[in-house]
Amino acid sequence: MSNVPYVNSTGKLRELLEKIKEAQTPTTFTHDFLNTKFGISERAMIPLLKRLEFLDQNGVPTQIYKDFRNPNQTKNIMAKAIKIGFQDLYAMNEYVESLNDKKLQDLIAQVTESDHDSTVVGATKRTFKILKGFASFDNYEASEVE
């Protein structure tokens, strides 16, 4: 069974990503920072940011975090982060971002070994779609992940 990243509050995820682009980069991205500076209390956001390699394991913003804040790089950097964070899905289908909702849901269910109508599958699909809205895969090359 695979562990793909997701959050339950995808509306807050969109808000978080917009605020990351605007706010100064913190020295360390903690739950206190998330709540105080962004007004977001969902604790699952930080593990998601770590899986996307926006933060290292100590909560320190990475180069991916910093590059995401650059409007000229945002979309390509998010494509890179998605390929990193959802590598288990990409191992099964290298064009995950092109799948329609049904096929994406089927793939997530297969990879997570969950029922198609499970909370995990639904939340993972919504999380992926929110992140994909910040990405462009048009000029993305797989070699950029390395």
Condensed to tens digits (0 to 9), the pLDDT of residues 35-50 reads 999 999 988 999 999 9
* Number of Cβ atoms within 10 Å of the Cβ of 90: 19
Cβ atoms of residues 127 and 81 within 8 Å: no
Nearest-angstrom CA–CA distance, 98 and 14: 20
What mean pLDDT do residues 71-96 have? 95
State yes or no: pLDDT of 22 exceeds 50.
yes
Short-list 140, 52, 53, 145, CA closest to 97: 140
